[in-house]
């Protein structure tokens, strides 16, 4: 609803975006073509133009490309060398053009472009243009390349056991990595262009025959509604197409692990990959997805199940622990066994603040430390750990500002939070933790349960691309439970998740034949 | 456009099955053993509980039959077909008032009990306001969401109840049950009447059956849904009587919470489990209050079709808050809610039977279209 209001307001402004379009046709004159190009780009020094005369007819032609975007070896070996070494070239422009197009370029992908519009975008994406004097068409030779990061282990999601490769900023490489995992001809990559100015390629990936076709349609419909000038990171796309931007919970998962993306595709989800970022988007998701790690399936099922249980427990601690501690201390002291109550009371002797303020201060410091640690360069990053450890652990207790037990509570909370596999959900937990803390400070356990009910109300109303966030608990899908709380043995997981309504519901062909 | 039709506003049969016990089981279970122990001797209260339960289960099934004769029709529209529009409006208005009142009183009782058990110094106004706001938040969301909440909370509530009971089994003294069948007829009838107020939530079938998506085994699901509270009530009643005996139970204000008090968790991490039990039970009371309010909202929107559900909820919220704070003493709340629920029990009873009779005599509904 809020979104529609915002859209309405936007429409009122009614400022038409300035379109930079050049539908102008190329001219026959080579010099004017080159000059036009220079003019459009503002004569940058990374625009390289090499003019050469070809054949007996001495026809001028020009090779232009943007330095750094192209693979210069390809330009030299497959274009320039071929042109220079060619013999018996036609003397007339058009024939020469056809000859070059058909025979001389040892590059796989060559196109023809007739308008300035058609040629500038490929040029800016790393293609090389070949103009020939007297021909109104330019050849667009795909030579894209240039420097890129090599494939490394993903930094944000490390596993003990599992593939060591992560996505990189190059889209083609990322797609290739996915292809290497799924050699199914039904794997689909649909390319879109996003950003009025950035014109980045964005690929919607899914496996045809598994995915629910209506889901793909919905994803594409939302993608087409994107209207911004630049899409820097997949977060821009996520922010545009997610269901509820007011929710603290992510409705789209991001990952830089190809194996995670592949697993999701095989379940019947849709992935979005964007040029220039290693983070792929996965949708739709529900709450149970968020606490699952890719590694759950790589370890044996008992270990996977237990670790998953541990993670659920960690999530519980991460949200509730400070709130529970505060409520037990302030409003429900009778619930603690007397010995424990005494030892806590003794440790709190001299602490000048009520537990709520104490907990808030410590949690806030913890947040500061985390943020500072993330922003600092890695070499200094360790210092913050030492400083933080000293500040939180030793000095604060010694100074009598906080009780040692509070330090334990905050440390436990922070550690539990690190055990949550996805950063995007871990950060949501950090937000709602404060909500729970204040609720318990005011109402004790009653406040915690009210806050819990509220989170649940939010969950049942929240949707991710039409999938309720509370699936498979409610709406209840019995068969999906083989991979929610318990990670069943691999050979027991016969069905793809029912909440995704996949076309092909069974992931095993022989045992699990459709009834 | 939604790629996943199951997540639409429609309610599934299973969700209705969960909603019935969620609506029925609320505040009343906490004091139920006391009231029954007052009416009957020894452990005989279960007979009244069971009879009342079966009686209302039958009524629920009849109500389901009536409602499912008019698939995809709102309660108001099929009631108008059966008993003419003016009469239907009268009935619906009475029901709206009843549901709003019951919702308000369950909130008030919750606030009272939590003040007793959780905190003494927080004012009643704040406790009930915070709870009411959460209920309003739930009701103003989607109706399917509300049913999903029932599905999510009910298992937790039942599991906790069972745990509490299981931990108490060692304390049960079999002598407390005996002798059997000593109550006279009058006592049974009194107990039967007392049990009315713990089952009134069953009438939601009248309103929600029309919203159920593709019903197949609706009657069966309604029976299963009704049997959950019957079994839980009898179970809790037995455990309470077994531990405390009839005399003591009759004198404890909230015997079911007393059960939780006795639980000793091995290892001694927590004491006073009744606090946790009551906290969890807050979820049950929340379910009841929100479902009752949702029925009221549903009825209002079925009469005034142009008003949005969210707006109705927001208008009702202050009215409910006024009702919550209206009684000065908790005894007034108890008397009022007993009156209301007794009236509602009889009213709905007569209503369902007469609707059923009229529908059968006139032969309207689905059967009519077929012939």
Contact B2 A466 (CB under 8 A): yes
Looking at residue A12, what is its pLDDT? 45
| Mean pLDDT along residues A337-357 | 87
Judging contacts by C-beta atoms under 8 Å, the chain B residues touching residue A332 are 118, 272, 275
Q: Tell which residue, A239, A252, A329, has the closest CA to residue A289.
A: A252
Looking at residue A363, what is its pLDDT? 92
Judging contacts by C-beta atoms under 8 Å, the chain B residues touching residue A473 are 151-152
Looking at residue A94, what is its pLDDT? 84
Looking at residue A511, what is its pLDDT? 53
Residue A373 lies in a domain: yes
Q: CB–CB of A186/A209 below 8 Å?
A: yes
Same domain, A34 and A119: yes
**For the ranges A60-64, A490-494, B247-251, the one whose mean pLDDT is highest:** A60-64
Looking at residue A515, what is its pLDDT? 44
Contact A214 B272 (CB under 8 A): no
Looking at residue B318, what is its pLDDT? 94
Same domain, A105 and A55: yes
- The residues, any chain, with a CB within 8 Å of residue A434's CB and separated by 6 or more, are A360, A363
Looking at residue A269, what is its pLDDT? 94
Contact B7 A453 (CB under 8 A): no
Start-to-end C-alpha separation, chain A? 43
Give the distance from residue B138's alpha carbon to the nearest chain A alpha carbon, in angstroms: 6
With an 8 Å Cβ cutoff, the interface of chain B facing chain A consists of 1-4, 6-7, 12, 14-15, 114, 118-119, 122, 127, 130-131, 134, 137-138, 141-142, 144-153, 268-272, 275-276, 279-280, 282-283, 286
The range of the structural domain enclosing residue A134 comes to 30-142
Contact B270 A212 (CB under 8 A): no
| Mean pLDDT along residues B156-184 | 83
Distance separating alpha carbons of residues A115 and A24, to the nearest angstrom? 6
Q: CB–CB of A34/A98 below 8 Å?
A: no
Nearest CA in chain A to B122: A443
pLDDT digits (tens, 9 = 90+) for B190-206: 888 888 888 888 889 88
Looking at residue A71, what is its pLDDT? 87
Contact A456 B1 (CB under 8 A): no
Residue A212 lies in a domain: yes
Residue A428 lies in a domain: yes
The residue of A288, A461, A501 whose CB has the most chain B CBs within 10 angstroms, and thus the best one to mutate to test that interface, is A461
Contact B275 A445 (CB under 8 A): yes
Same domain, A379 and A416: yes
Contact A467 B138 (CB under 8 A): no
Judging contacts by C-beta atoms under 8 Å, the chain A residues touching residue B7 are 463, 466-468, 471, 475
Same domain, A278 and A384: no
Same domain, A98 and A235: no
**For the ranges A92-101, A266-275, B10-19, B330-339, the one whose mean pLDDT is highest:** A266-275
Lowest-pLDDT range of A32-41, A313-322, A445-454, B90-99 = A32-41
Which has more confidence, B255 or A189? A189
Q: Tell which residue, B101, B108, B105, has the closest CA to residue B124.
A: B108
Report residue A15's pLDDT band, with 50, 70 and 90 as the boundaries. Answer: very low
Distance separating alpha carbons of residues B230 and B25, to the nearest angstrom? 10
pLDDT of A9 > 70? The answer is no
Looking at residue A482, what is its pLDDT? 85
Distance separating alpha carbons of residues B136 and B286, to the nearest angstrom? 10
Judging contacts by C-beta atoms under 8 Å, the chain A residues touching residue B9 are none
Say if the ipTM goes beyond 0.90.
yes
Q: Tell which residue, A223, A202, A193, A449, has the closest CA to residue A323.
A: A449
Residue B304 lies in a domain: yes
Neighbours of B246 (CB within 10 A): 22
Distance separating alpha carbons of residues B172 and B101, to the nearest angstrom? 38
Question: Given the structure tokens 């450890």, which residue do they identify?
Answer: A389
Report residue B296's pLDDT band, with 50, 70 and 90 as the boundaries. Answer: very high
pLDDT digits (tens, 9 = 90+) for A302-316: 999 999 999 999 999
Same domain, A73 and A102: yes
Nearest CA in chain A to B119: A331
Nearest CA in chain A to B281: A449
Residue A474 lies in a domain: no
Nearest CA in chain A to B118: A332
Contact B15 A214 (CB under 8 A): no
Q: Tell which residue, B31, B4, B275, B36, has the closest CA to residue B144.
A: B4
Question: Given the structure tokens 């000065």, which residue do they identify?
Answer: B328
DSSP state of A113: E
Residue A220 lies in a domain: yes
Q: B132-135 long-range contacts, Cβ below 8 Å, gap at least 24?
A: B132/B107, B132/B317, B132/B320, B132/B321, B132/B324, B133/B317, B134/A450, B134/A453, B134/A454, B134/A457, B134/B286, B135/B103, B135/B107, B135/B286, B135/B289, B135/B290, B135/B293
| Mean pLDDT along residues B297-312 | 91
Q: Find the CATH number of the domain harbouring B32.
A: 1.20.1740.10
HEC string for A82-107: HHHHCCCCCCCHHHHHHHHHHHHCCC
Distance separating alpha carbons of residues A47 and A65, to the nearest angstrom? 6
Residue B162 lies in a domain: yes
Looking at residue B1, what is its pLDDT? 56
Distance separating alpha carbons of residues B341 and B198, to the nearest angstrom? 8
Which has more confidence, A171 or B7? A171
pLDDT of A54 > 70? The answer is yes
Closest residue to A337, CB basis, from B15, B268, B286? B268
Residue B95 lies in a domain: yes
Helix axes of B124-140 and B85-117: crossing angle, nearest 10 degrees: 130
Judging contacts by C-beta atoms under 8 Å, the chain A residues touching residue B131 are 450
pLDDT of B69 > 60? The answer is yes
Contact A457 B138 (CB under 8 A): yes
Same domain, A100 and A176: no
Contact B275 A221 (CB under 8 A): no
Which has more confidence, B363 or B296? B296
Closest residue to B3, CB basis, from A212, A447, A453? A212
Looking at residue A216, what is its pLDDT? 94
DSSP A167-186: --S-HHHHHHHHHHH---TT
Nearest CA in chain A to B110: A446
Nearest CA in chain A to B284: A453
Lowest-pLDDT range of A67-76, A386-395, B56-65, B355-364 = A386-395
| Mean pLDDT along residues A145-154 | 86
The mean predicted confidence, pLDDT, of chain A is 86
Q: Tell which residue, B29, B63, B59, B32, has the closest CA to residue B45.
A: B32
If one counts the domains in chain B, the total is 1
Residue A148 lies in a domain: no
Residue A340 lies in a domain: yes
Looking at residue A514, what is its pLDDT? 47
Distance separating alpha carbons of residues A380 and A371, to the nearest angstrom? 13
Question: Given the structure tokens 């190329």, which residue do they identify?
Answer: A26
Residue B287 lies in a domain: yes
Residue B4 lies in a domain: no
Looking at residue A13, what is its pLDDT? 46
Distance separating alpha carbons of residues A222 and A272, to the nearest angstrom? 12
Distance separating alpha carbons of residues A217 and A13, to the nearest angstrom? 30
| Mean pLDDT along residues A309-330 | 93
Same domain, A327 and A407: yes
Distance separating alpha carbons of residues B231 and B36, to the nearest angstrom? 15
- The residues, any chain, with a CB within 8 Å of residue A59's CB and separated by 6 or more, are A53, A91, A93, A96, A132, A133, A134
Distance separating alpha carbons of residues B97 and B186, to the nearest angstrom? 32
Looking at residue B151, what is its pLDDT? 92
pLDDT of A441 > 70? The answer is yes
Residue A502 lies in a domain: no
| Percentage of residues of chain A with pLDDT beyond 70 | 94
Contact A443 B286 (CB under 8 A): no
Q: CB–CB of A130/A60 below 8 Å?
A: no
Could you say which of A242, A263, A285 is where a domain stops? Answer: A285
pLDDT digits (tens, 9 = 90+) for A58-87: 888 889 999 888 888 888 888 888 888 888
Token pair listed for A220: 């594409």
Looking at residue B268, what is its pLDDT? 67
Residue B367 lies in a domain: no
The range of the structural domain enclosing residue B85 comes to 10-361
pLDDT digits (tens, 9 = 90+) for A404-428: 889 899 999 999 999 988 888 899 9
Report residue A20's pLDDT band, with 50, 70 and 90 as the boundaries. Answer: low
Same domain, A445 and A335: yes
If one counts the domains in chain A, the total is 3
Looking at residue A206, what is its pLDDT? 95
A-B contacts (CB, under 8 Å): 127
pLDDT of B370 > 50? The answer is no
pLDDT of B334 > 90? The answer is no
| Mean pLDDT along residues A201-223 | 93
Could you say which of A246, A264, A285 is where a domain stops? Answer: A285
| Percentage of residues of chain A with pLDDT beyond 90 | 36
Give the distance from residue A453's alpha carbon to the nearest chain B alpha carbon, in angstroms: 7
The residue of B8, B22, B119, B288 whose CB has the most chain A CBs within 10 angstroms, and thus the best one to mutate to test that interface, is B119
| Mean pLDDT along residues B307-336 | 89
Half-sphere exposure of B243 (CA within 13 A, CB side): 26
Which has more confidence, B118 or A415? A415
Q: Tell which residue, B102, B136, B60, has the closest CA to residue B311.
A: B136
**For the ranges A55-64, A99-108, A148-157, B220-229, the one whose mean pLDDT is highest:** B220-229
| Mean pLDDT along residues A369-380 | 83
- The residues, any chain, with a CB within 8 Å of residue B136's CB and separated by 6 or more, are B293, B313, B314, B317
Same domain, A48 and A131: yes
The residue of A337, A453, A458, A477 whose CB has the most chain B CBs within 10 angstroms, and thus the best one to mutate to test that interface, is A453
Closest residue to A475, CB basis, from B2, B142, B148? B148
Residue B256 lies in a domain: yes
């Amino acid at each position: 609803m809020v979104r529609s209001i915002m859209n309405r307001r936007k429409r009122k402004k009614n400022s038409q975006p300035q379109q930079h379009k050049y539908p102008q046709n190329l001219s026959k004159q080579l010099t004017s073509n080159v000059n036009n190009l220079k003019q459009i780009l503002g004569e940058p020094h990374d625009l390289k133009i090499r003019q050469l005369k070809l054949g007996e007819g001495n026809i001028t032609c020009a090779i232009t490309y943007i330095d750094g975007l192209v693979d210069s070896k390809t330009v030299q070996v497959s274009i320039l060398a071929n042109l220079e070494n060619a013999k018996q070239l036609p003397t007339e422009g058009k024939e020469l053009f056809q000859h070059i197009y058909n025979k001389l370029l040892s590059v796989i992908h060559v196109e023809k472009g007739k308008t300035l519009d058609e040629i500038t975008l490929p040029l800016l994406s790393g293609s090389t243009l070949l103009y020939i004097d007297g021909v109104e068409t330019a050849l667009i030779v795909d030579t894209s390349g240039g420097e890129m990061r090599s494939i490394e282990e993903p930094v944000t999601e490390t596993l003990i056991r599992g593939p060591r490769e992560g996505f990189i900023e190059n889209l083609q490489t990322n797609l290739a990595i996915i292809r290497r995992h799924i050699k199914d001809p039904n794997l689909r990559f649909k390319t879109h262009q996003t950003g009025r100015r950035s014109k980045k390629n964005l690929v919607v990936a899914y496996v045809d025959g598994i995915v629910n076709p209506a889901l793909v349609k919905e994803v594409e419909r939302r993608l087409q509604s994107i209207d911004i000038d630049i899409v820097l990171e997949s977060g821009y796309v996520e922010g545009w197409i997610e269901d509820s931007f007011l929710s603290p919970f992510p409705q789209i998962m991001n990952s830089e692990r190809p194996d995670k993306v592949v697993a999701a595709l095989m379940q019947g989800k849709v992935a979005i990959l964007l040029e220039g970022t290693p983070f792929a988007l996965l949708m739709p998701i529900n709450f149970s997805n968020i606490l699952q790690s890719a590694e759950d399936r790589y370890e044996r099922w008992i270990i996977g199940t237990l670790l998953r249980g541990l993670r659920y427990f960690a999530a519980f601690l991460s949200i509730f622990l400070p709130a529970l501690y505060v409520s037990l201390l302030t409003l429900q002291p009778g619930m603690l066994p007397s010995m424990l109550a005494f030892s806590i009371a003794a440790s709190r002797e001299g602490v000048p603040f009520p537990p709520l303020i104490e907990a808030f201060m410590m949690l806030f410091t913890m947040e500061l430390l985390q943020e500072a640690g993330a922003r600092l360069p890695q070499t200094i990053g360790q210092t913050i750990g030492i400083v933080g450890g000293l500040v939180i652990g030793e000095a604060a207790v010694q100074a009598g500002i906080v009780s040692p037990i509070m330090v334990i509570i905050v440390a436990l909370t922070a550690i539990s939070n690190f055990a949550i596999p996805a950063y995007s959900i871990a950060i949501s937990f950090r937000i709602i933790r404060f909500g729970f803390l204040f609720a318990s400070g005011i109402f004790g356990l009653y406040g915690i349960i009210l806050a819990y009910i509220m989170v649940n109300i939010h969950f049942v109303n929240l949707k991710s691309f039409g999938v309720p966030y509370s699936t498979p608990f409610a709406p209840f899908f019995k068969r999906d439970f083989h991979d929610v709380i318990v990670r069943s043995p691999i050979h027991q997981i016969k069905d793809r998740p029912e909440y995704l309504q996949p076309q092909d519901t069974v992931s095993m062909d022989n045992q699990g034949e459709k009834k | 456009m939604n790629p996943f039709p199951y997540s639409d506003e429609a309610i599934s049969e299973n969700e209705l099955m969960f909603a019935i016990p969620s609506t029925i089981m609320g505040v009343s279970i906490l004091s139920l053993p006391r009231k029954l122990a007052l009416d009957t001797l020894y452990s005989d209260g279960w007979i009244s509980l069971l009879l009342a339960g079966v009686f209302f289960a039958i009524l629920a099934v009849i109500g389901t039959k009536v409602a499912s004769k008019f698939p995809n029709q709102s309660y108001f529209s099929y009631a108008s077909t059966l008993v003419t529009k003016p009469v239907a409006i009268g009935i619906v208005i009475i029901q709206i008032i009843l549901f709003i009142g019951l919702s308000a009183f369950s909130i008030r009782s919750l606030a009272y009990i939590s003040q007793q058990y959780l905190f003494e110094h927080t004012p009643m106004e704040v406790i009930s306001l915070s709870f009411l706001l959460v209920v309003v938040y739930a009701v103003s969301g989607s109706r399917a969401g509300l049913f999903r909440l029932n599905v999510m909370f009910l298992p937790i509530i039942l599991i906790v109840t069972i745990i509490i009971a299981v931990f108490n089994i060692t304390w049960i003294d079999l002598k407390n049950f005996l002798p059997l069948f000593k109550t006279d007829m009058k006592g049974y009838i009194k107990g039967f009447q007392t049990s009315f107020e713990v089952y009134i939530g069953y009438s939601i079938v009248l309103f929600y059956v029309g919203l159920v998506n593709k019903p197949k085994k609706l009657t069966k699901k309604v029976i299963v849904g009704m049997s959950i509270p019957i079994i839980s009530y009898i179970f809790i009643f037995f455990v309470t009587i077994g531990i405390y005996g009839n005399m003591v139970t009759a004198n404890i204000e909230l015997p079911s919470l007393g059960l939780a008090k006795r639980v000793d968790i091995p290892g001694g991490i927590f004491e006073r489990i009744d606090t946790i039990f009551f906290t969890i039970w807050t979820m049950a009371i929340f379910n009841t209050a929100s479902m009752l309010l949702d029925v009221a909202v549903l009825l209002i929107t079925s009469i005034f079709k142009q008003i949005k559900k969210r707006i109705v909820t927001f208008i009702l919220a202050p009215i409910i808050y006024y009702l919550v704070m209206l009684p000065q003493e908790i005894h007034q709340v108890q008397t009022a809610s007993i009156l209301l629920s007794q009236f509602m029990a009889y009213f709905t009873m007569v209503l369902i039977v007469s609707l059923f009779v009229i529908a059968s005599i006139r032969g309207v509904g689905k059967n009519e279209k077929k012939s």
